[in-house]
């Protein structure tokens, strides 16, 4: 790949030899300044797919960072993912002169404001805190040349669309945009069409997500049986490190307290926890001071902890894609993993949607229990039937700006493509 030499050196030091599919298909056109619409799951290497083109531009062109006016903006849905992206930029950009700042809630803004005032090349932010700092006059996005939106589907799930509209309206028309999402549902495609200009589309999501390394099973239960069955599973000798998923923040707190009472060391992690509390819970989990992490989907998104032996769905996920994300916390890097899902009869439709997505029937350990579960969970009703749940800064086909970017003998005008006014409303 035609990457800046210091980037190649950093990648060699990390023993990166072969690009993943998303990297191989995204990096070359992104370096040329084209907009990107990338569809890829977590764990496919997409952070490098946008970080390397950004760092390549900074290293090759050496644009001048000004106080409070970042050159590249990366938006992430959660604090954990923002921190992880920042770590990746530091690793890949080890030999490149650039400055970055992380902006997210749950901590004081003083250090963040100070970093912005000093001038940063790359700003990695969550939408809520970024809006706060924009409103206070600490961030001016008019100089952004490369805008990256990561995990767009999760952004919309978390209700960030109004914030996204406000942020995008503050960006200059002439910019490059890199858009990544694990799914391309209609709402995601609509947002992408308003944000991107003549993008290169890259889809590396398999028709049926791969979960081959994970031993999956369904336990049919009555709602009142979930806690004792969970304690029984977690008490097994083969459980070294487990993540238990609940549907709500309140449920995560309550379950963690019940597990502690049962003598099982656990910690809860969700969006209402402060950043320090979340980081402390993760640290305790990584250091095995707690063996169980009770999490919600949003909090666990982007968390990468080695050695997770079990994932347990205490509540079945409503969105089938969330199932793949959840169980993907185990069975990583070629290791085996175990995923157990507790399913009541009124959650059976969610199970069918998951099976349809992954293209396989999941083994049910006690299928005769469906009728018992139906009578207790649904007040005697039958279990539900089968069915689904429910512009380039350098080139890329746009008008050239009068500004020249120079370097490597290429003309690098930014786009002048018009976007829908819907995002500016």
pLDDT at 174: 93
Residue with tokens 């290791």: 335
R_g of the chain computed on alpha carbons? 23
List of long-range contacts for 9-16, beta carbons under 8 Å, 24+ apart? 9/95, 10/91, 10/92, 10/93, 10/94, 10/95, 10/96, 11/92, 13/94, 14/91, 16/48
In a 3-state reduction of DSSP, which class is residue 75? Answer: strand
CATH class of the domain defined by 214-377: alpha beta
The yes-or-no answer to whether 5-198+392-424 and 214-377 have a common fold is yes
CATH class of the domain defined by 5-198+392-424: alpha beta
Secondary structure letter of residue 132 according to DSSP? H
Number of H helices, E strands in the chain: 16, 13
pLDDT at 393: 45
H or E element, residue 294 = strand 292-295
Contact (Cβ atoms closer than 8 angstroms) between residue 245 and residue 326: yes
Q: Which residues contact 222 (CB under 8 A, 6 or more apart)?
A: 344, 372, 373, 376, 377
pLDDT at 106: 82
User: What ranges do the domains of the chain cover?
Assistant: 5-198+392-424, 214-377
Instruction: Name beta bridge partners: 103.
Output: 125
pLDDT at 129: 95
Q: Which residues contact 277 (CB under 8 A, 6 or more apart)?
A: none
Distance, in Å, from the CA atom of 205 to the CA atom of 39, rounded to the nearest integer, reads 6
Vertex 277, ends 133 and 105: CA angle to 5°? 10
Task: Please spell the DSSP secondary structure of 312-378, one letter per residue.
Answer: EESS--SSHHHHHHHHTTSS-TT--EEEEEEE-GGGHHHHHHHHHHHTSPPPBS-TTHHHHHHHHHS
Flag residues of the chain having pLDDT under 50: 208, 377-425
pLDDT at 416: 39
Q: The dihedral of CA 354, 360, 362, 367: what is its sign?
A: positive
Q: Which residues contact 195 (CB under 8 A, 6 or more apart)?
A: 149, 168, 177, 179, 419, 423
Which strands sit side by side in the sheet containing 310-313, from one edge to the other?
A: 214-220, 337-343, 310-313, 242-245, 292-295, 266-269
pLDDT at 343: 93
In a 3-state reduction of DSSP, which class is residue 419? Answer: coil
End-to-end distance of the chain based on CA atoms, in angstroms? 40
Q: Within its chain, how far is the Cα of 360 from the centroid? A: 25
Instruction: Tell me phi and psi for residue 328, to 5 degrees.
Output: -70, -5
Distance, in Å, from the CA atom of 67 to the CA atom of 116, rounded to the nearest integer, reads 6
Distance, in Å, from the CA atom of 35 to the CA atom of 50, rounded to the nearest integer, reads 11
Instruction: Tell me phi and psi for residue 176, to 5 degrees.
Output: -105, 140
3-class SS letters over 392-417: CCCCCCCCCCCCCCCCCCCCCCCCCC
């Amino acid at each position: 790949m035609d990457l800046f030499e210091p980037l190649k050196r950093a990648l060699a030091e990390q023993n990166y030899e072969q690009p993943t599919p998303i990297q191989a298909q995204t990096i070359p056109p992104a370096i040329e300044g084209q907009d990107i619409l990338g569809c890829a799951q977590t764990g496919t290497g997409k952070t490098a797919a946008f970080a390397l083109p950004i760092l390549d531009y900074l290293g090759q062109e050496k644009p001048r960072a000004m106080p409070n006016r970042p050159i590249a903006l990366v938006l992430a849905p959660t604090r954990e993912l923002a921190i992880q992206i920042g770590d990746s930029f530091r690793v890949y950009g080890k030999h490149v002169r650039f400055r970055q700042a992380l902006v997210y809630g749950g901590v004081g803004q003083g250090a963040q404001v100070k970093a912005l005032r000093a001038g940063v090349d790359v700003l990695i932010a969550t939408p809520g805190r970024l809006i706060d700092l924009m409103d206070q006059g600490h961030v001016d996005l008019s100089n952004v040349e490369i805008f990256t939106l990561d995990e767009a589907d999760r952004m919309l799930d978390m209700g960030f669309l109004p914030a996204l509209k406000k942020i995008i309206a503050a960006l200059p028309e002439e910019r490059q945009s890199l858009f990544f999402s694990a799914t391309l549902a209609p709402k995601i495609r609509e947002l992408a069409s308003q944000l991107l200009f003549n993008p290169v589309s890259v889809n590396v999501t398999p028709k049926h997500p791969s979960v081959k390394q994970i031993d999956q099973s369904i336990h049919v239960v009555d709602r009142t049986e979930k806690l004792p069955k969970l304690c029984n599973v977690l008490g097994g000798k083969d459980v070294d490190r487990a993540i238990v998923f609940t549907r709500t923040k309140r449920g995560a707190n309550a379950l963690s307290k019940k597990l502690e009472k049962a003598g099982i060391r656990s910690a809860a992690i969700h969006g209402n926890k402060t950043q320090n509390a979340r980081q402390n819970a993760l640290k305790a989990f990584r250091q095995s001071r707690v063996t169980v992490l009770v999490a919600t989907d949003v909090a666990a998104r982007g968390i990468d902890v080695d050695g997770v032996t079990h994932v347990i769905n205490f509540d079945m996920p409503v969105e089938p894609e969330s199932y793949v994300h959840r169980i993907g916390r185990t069975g990583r890097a070629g290791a085996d993993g175990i995923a157990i899902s507790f399913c009541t009869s009124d959650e059976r439709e969610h199970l069918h949607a998951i099976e349809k997505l992954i293209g396989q029937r999941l083994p049910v350990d006690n299928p005769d229990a469906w009728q018992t579960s139906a009578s207790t969970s649904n007040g005697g009703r039958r279990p539900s039937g089968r069915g689904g749940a429910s512009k380039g800064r350098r080139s890329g086909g746009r008008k050239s700006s009068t500004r020249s970017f120079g370097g490597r003998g290429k003309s690098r005008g930014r786009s002048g493509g018009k976007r829908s006014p819907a995002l500016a409303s």
